[in-house]
Amino acid sequence: MSSITRLAAVVSLGFAALGSAAVSAEEARYNQIALRAEVSQEVAHDLMQVTLYSEAQNKDPAKLAAGITTSINEALQQARKSSGVTISLGSRNSYPVYDDDQRISAWRERAEIRLESADFATLSKLTGELLQQLKMGGMSFSVANPTQKKTEDALLQDAINAFKARAQLATTALGGKSYKLVSLSLNGGGFQRPQPMRMQMDSNMSMAKSAPTPEIEAGSSQVSVNADGVIEVQMP
């Protein structure tokens, strides 16, 4: 066989191989369906967050800052006596107050402390005590990260079973005899966080010697897991 003939044969085989690969790639995508299954569970909130703040106004910004600092420091010292409560400082800012002639007549300052605990009774009692000197900025409830992860792990098998049931339903609807799993991904983190509750106290409560303990109704949120995948239906 001449060199030209052999080269033609090689080229011909090359095109045939490429054509076969193209057909195989096309067949690999044949009768493929993308499916999603989602399972969820209602989970009781087991973490409580409270934001308290001190706010005041004074013509002297130095005296104003000193007063706010004293108020916050006293609240922190009292909060540290409660075990199981996580304490952190929130935002702190000051801004000028203008008179009718747009001149600075005073300064106003606000500083926050944030409290978090899984012990609702302890944090609720502490909040009632601190309301004697601070004001309520907000109260919210959520599912703690370990609880959310534990719930998601328990839902994984349910999500897989739900996906398998949906895959079988789609296969039957198409008249297929079986299906092959092409890909599957499991995604958690479907957590609906609640909106924080806003609470305000009136002037009578702020002057009381002992503030009442706020009643707690934590509520719940949904934790969900999604199973997203692709199947290839095998036809008879």
Q: Model confidence over 199-225: pLDDT tens digits?
A: 444 433 443 445 566 667 788 889 999
Supply the pLDDT for residue 203: 36
Question: Please, which pLDDT band fits residue 188 given cuts at 50, 70 and 90?
Answer: confident
In this predicted structure, the answer to whether residue 3 has a pLDDT above a threshold of 70 is no
Q: Model confidence over 91-132: pLDDT tens digits?
A: 999 999 999 889 999 999 999 999 999 999 999 999 999 999
Instruction: Kindly report each contact of residues 1-8 with a partner whose C-beta sits within 8 Å and lies 24 or more positions away, as own/partner.
Output: none
CB 179 within 8 A of CB 233: yes
Q: Which CATH architecture best describes the domain 47-142?
A: 2-Layer Sandwich (3.30)
Average pLDDT (76-85) is: 96
Q: In this structure, which amino acid lies at residue 100?
A: D
In this predicted structure, the answer to whether residue 34 has a pLDDT above a threshold of 70 is yes
Average pLDDT (139-145) is: 93
In this predicted structure, the answer to whether residue 43 has a pLDDT above a threshold of 60 is yes
Question: Please, which pLDDT band fits residue 4 given cuts at 50, 70 and 90?
Answer: very low
Query: Could you give the C-alpha distances from 38 to 140, 150, 159, 162, 191, in angstroms and in order?
Result: 27, 17, 6, 7, 13
Average pLDDT (147-151) is: 92
Average pLDDT (149-170) is: 94
**CATH number of this structure's domain 31-44+143-194+220-236:** 3.30.110
Domain limits, the chain = 1-30, 31-44+143-194+220-236, 47-142
